[in-house]
Amino acid sequence: MSALATALTTCDMILIDGLHAFDFTCDENGLTIECMDGRQLRRWVFTADQVAAASREGNDWCIAAAETEHRLTCLDAFRAPDEDDHEPDLEDTADR
């Protein structure tokens, strides 16, 4: 598994060419990314060889496509805690 593929397994979203993408898959066939840019669906498909050849520049990755190069940043999404014990139920507070 390449370094970029490893990074993609632990991230929740990607910034590709300045666009946030939550819908992506990375497997033995390569990397597929989809996101909405306004009303337009944007889609990128990279082969496993392109993912393996990606180079790291600081927090970003440069991945070459057929005619251009794209900049990826792996990001972690913020998550709420799993425990609901810290907040009272709305039904319980409505009766007071």
Q: In which band, very low, low, confident or very high, does the pLDDT at 76 lie, cut at 50, 70 and 90?
A: confident
Of how many residues is the chain composed? 96
Per-residue model confidence as pLDDT tens digits over 33-72: 999 999 999 999 999 999 999 999 988 999 998 889 999 9
Structure tokens at 64: 């070459």
- State residue 67's pLDDT score: 85
Structure tokens at 61: 């990755």
Q: Where are the domains of the chain?
A: 3-75
What dotted CATH number matches 3-75? Answer: 2.30.29.190
pLDDT at 89 over 60: no
Q: What is the C-alpha separation between 29 and 27, in angstroms, rounded?
A: 5
Q: In which band, very low, low, confident or very high, does the pLDDT at 10 lie, cut at 50, 70 and 90?
A: confident
Neighbours of 71 (CB within 10 A): 13
Structure tokens at 25: 């898959």
